[in-house]
């Protein structure tokens, strides 16, 4: 955080600015502890109405929300462009992906979360057993700014579909966007109480108050550093957490790769959204036999890729001013470690815009390879073979996502990567398939959004065992248990479990 950002956090009003120009877009009152508690109380009061709608009623409400977002998509995409900086077309693609997820969550919650019968097993044959899934109650969602619609929506839509109400604290860099999302839900569903889905505004302190507010789960997307603080604070009340944190995602380009396709995908995956993508391409490990062709193609594409704020710009400005220094530091660290800039260099950092930078032969211990850069830069390392590529790809504290380019062995290589998701012969393909869960391990976080696991994050399994009839003398959980029955059990157990070879 810069000094200006720290000073801003002390204010009672949050000013939203256009990152390309610095122009003020709007101001919002900051929610203090009392306002956060009020929002959570409103959400708590709405839990009954929302849960009682059932899966079918909630599906209708969620799909009405989608249609409202579509109806207002021009206005919304213009706002995303202004507040986040990304091109309008990218804003539209982000909205489209979020709509896919709202639809998937709304339509799959019933099947995924309906009560299930389970076998009671031979020892408990007189019981019927079932699992029922209950909503947790109120879910606190804390979002980032880089995909300010798509990313928090992975928690919001799934938590709502599972029957929870939501209090959402958008990033201080995407406050208007976050409020727009919550307001369209209310507009689409005027008959529902206000607390089903509410936004609260502010900086880290507002997020911290939400974590301590007594919500039933915190779903956070943001940096690993903030994720650690949230988990420590949530531990005081044993509030469960879902943490979607950063990445340092590798791409492996094997000897049998379609090299042109790989270069095209890496060029886009590393620089689109100004490289501010949690699962964006940050590191490439390319087989020595195709290295020259790959680098020639990659630099050929990227030399014509230009950031800007005008129509037709490939990507926008850096959204968060303090990130610009981090990107510059990583480029300098790469060069200081003996690396070379094949395209661009420190001079590519031009105010809020950073032009594409391709770095080669960078020491694997450099900050440019070890830390999340979150800028339009990429390191490319030549490897002797696939084993070395996999070893280096896995040599990181992150474990979010990855991609593999190989015509014949993509799946085998993917299976050896320690990550939550892999795209084979594409980048980021998994993010657009709603049924696939998304999330990481280690510094990339805990838990999953999207897909069936993403719905199950927001429910409490309730196991119910119903004794259908009593078996005389077989009351195992009773002092009336007989010795005769214990003898019979001693005979049964070896038959059931003692004959495994």
Q: Binding residues for ligand NAD, per CB under 6 A?
A: 142-147, 151, 169, 171-172, 203-204, 207-208, 211, 221-223, 226, 229-230, 244-247, 278, 320, 372, 374, 400, 445
* Choice between 28 and 147, CB closer to ligand NAD: 147
Residues 455 and 435 sit within 8 Å (Cβ to Cβ): no
Q: For ligand NAD, which is the closer residue by CB, 96 or 261?
A: 96
Catalytically annotated residue among 100, 278, 355, 457: 278
The two tokens of residue 30 are 């900051």
User: Is-contact 25 32, C-beta < 8 A?
Assistant: no
C-alpha to C-alpha distance for 414 and 289, rounded to whole angstroms: 20
What is the smallest separation between the CB atom of 129 and ligand NAD, expressed in angstroms? 35
Q: How far apart are CA 354 and CA 216, in angstroms?
A: 41
Contact yes or no for 400/419 (Cβ under 8 A): yes
Q: How far is the CB of 69 from ligand NAD (least distance, A)?
A: 20
461 CB contacts (<8 Å, ≥6 apart)?
131, 132, 133
Structural tokens at position 182: 């919550």
CB 182 → ligand NAD: shortest distance, Å?
14
Helices (H) and strands (E) in the chain, counts: 17, 20
Residue nearest to ligand NAD (CB): 207
Outline where 303-372 has alpha helix (H): 321-336, 367-370
Token match 């009405």: residue?
64
Structure tokens at 189: 């569903």
> Of 47 and 221, which has the nearer Cβ to ligand NAD?
221
Query: Min. distance of Cβ 151 from ligand NAD in angstroms?
Result: 4
244: annotated active-site residue: yes
Q: How far is the CB of 440 from ligand NAD (least distance, A)?
A: 6
Nearer to ligand NAD, 151 or 382 (CB): 151
Query: In the complex with ligand NAD, which residue's Cβ is closer, 13 or 123?
Result: 13
Strand 357-360 relative to strand 217-221: parallel, antiparallel, unpaired? Answer: unpaired
SS (H, E, C) 232-264: HHHHCCCCCEEEECCCCEEEEECCCCCHHHHHH
- Measured from the CB atom, the residue of 179 and 221 that comes closer to ligand NAD is 221
Q: How far is the CB of 295 from ligand NAD (least distance, A)?
A: 26
140 vs 43: CA distance, rounded Å: 10
The full DSSP string for 409-448 is THHHHHHTS-SSEEEESSSSGGGG-TTS-B--SGGGEES-
With a CB cutoff of 8 Å and minimum separation 6, the contacts of 317 are: 19, 20, 85, 274, 307, 309, 351, 352, 353
The nearest distance, CB 401 to ligand NAD, in angstroms, is 8
- Closest approach of ligand NAD to the CB of residue 439, in Å: 7
**Which residues does residue 358 pair with via DSSP β-bridges, in sequence order?**
343, 378
The whole-angstrom separation of Cα 41 and Cα 334 is: 50
H or E element: which one contains 471?
none
Q: Based on CB atoms, which residue is closest to ligand NAD, 142 or 290?
A: 142
**In the bound complex, what is the minimum distance in angstroms from residue 149's beta carbon to ligand NAD?**
11
List the catalytic residue out of 244, 282, 355, 372.
244
User: For this structure, is 278 an active site residue?
Assistant: yes
**Dihedral sign computed on CA atoms, order 225, 228, 230, 236:** negative
Backbone φ and ψ of 15, nearest 5°:
-105, 125
* Closer to ligand NAD by Cβ: residue 278 or 354: 278
Q: How many Cβ atoms from other residues are within 10 Å of residue 374's Cβ? A: 26
- For ligand NAD, the closer of residues 314 and 431 by Cβ is 431
Identify the bridge partners of residue 131 per DSSP, sorted by sequence position: 116, 463
Q: Which residues pair with 118 in a beta bridge?
A: 129
Catalytically annotated residues: 244, 278
């Amino acid at each position: 955080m810069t000094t200006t950002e720290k000073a801003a956090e002390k204010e009672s009003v949050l000013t939203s600015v256009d990152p390309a120009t610095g122009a003020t877009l709007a101001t919002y009152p900051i929610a203090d502890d009392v306002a956060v508690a009020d929002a959570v109380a409103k959400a708590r009061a709405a839990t009954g109405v929302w849960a009682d709608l059932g899966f079918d009623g909630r599906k209708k409400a969620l799909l009405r929300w989608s249609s409202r977002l579509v109806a207002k998509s021009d206005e919304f995409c213009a706002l995303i462009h202004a507040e986040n900086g990304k091109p309008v077309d990218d804003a539209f693609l982000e909205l489209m992906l979020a709509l896919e997820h709202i639809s998937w969550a709304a339509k799959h919650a019933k099947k995924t979360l309906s009560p299930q019968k389970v076998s009671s097993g031979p020892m408990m044959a007189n019981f019927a057993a079932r699992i029922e899934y209950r909503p947790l109650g109120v879910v606190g969602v804390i979002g980032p700014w880089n995909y300010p619609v798509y990313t928090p929506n992975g928690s919001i839509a799934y938590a709502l579909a599972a029957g929870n109400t939501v209090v959402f604290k958008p990033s201080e860099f995407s406050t208007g966007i976050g409020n727009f999302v919550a307001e369209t839900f209310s507009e689409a569903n005027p008959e529902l109480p206000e607390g089903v889905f509410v936004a609260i505004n502010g900086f880290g302190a507002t997020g911290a108050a939400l974590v301590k507010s007594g919500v039933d789960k915190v779903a956070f997307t943001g940096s690993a550093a903030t994720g650690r603080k949230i988990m420590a604070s949530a531990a005081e009340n044993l509030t469960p957490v879902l943490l979607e944190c950063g990445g340092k995602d590798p791409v492996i380009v094997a000897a049998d790769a379609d090299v042109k396709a790989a270069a095209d995908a890496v060029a886009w995956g590393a620089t689109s959204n100004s490289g501010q993508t949690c699962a964006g391409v940050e590191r490439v490990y390319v087989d020595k036999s195709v290295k020259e062709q790959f680098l020639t193609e990659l630099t050929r594409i990227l030399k014509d890729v230009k950031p800007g704020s005008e129509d037709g710009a490939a990507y926008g400005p850096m959204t968060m001013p303090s990130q610009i220094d981090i990107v510059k530091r990583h480029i300098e660290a790469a060069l200081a470690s003996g690396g070379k800039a094949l395209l661009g260099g420190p001079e590519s950092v031009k105010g809020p815009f950073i032009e594409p930078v391709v770095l080669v032969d960078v020491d694997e211990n450099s900050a440019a390879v070890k830390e999340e850069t979150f800028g339009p830069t990429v390191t490319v390392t030549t490897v002797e073979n696939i084993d070395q590529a996999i070893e280096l790809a896995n040599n990181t504290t992150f474990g979010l996502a990855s991609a593999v380019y190989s015509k014949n062995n993509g799946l085998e290589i993917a299976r050896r990567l320690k990550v939550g998701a892999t795209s084979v012969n594409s980048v980021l393909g998994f993010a657009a398939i709603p049924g696939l869960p998304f999330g990481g391990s280690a510094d990339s976080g805990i838990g999953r959004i999207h897909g069936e696991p993403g719905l199950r994050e927001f429910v409490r399994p309730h196991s119910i065992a119903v004794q259908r009839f009593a078996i005389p003398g077989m009351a195992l959980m009773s002092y009336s248990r007989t010795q005769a029955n214990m003898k019979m059990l001693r005979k049964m157990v070896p038959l059931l479990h003692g004959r495994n070879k």
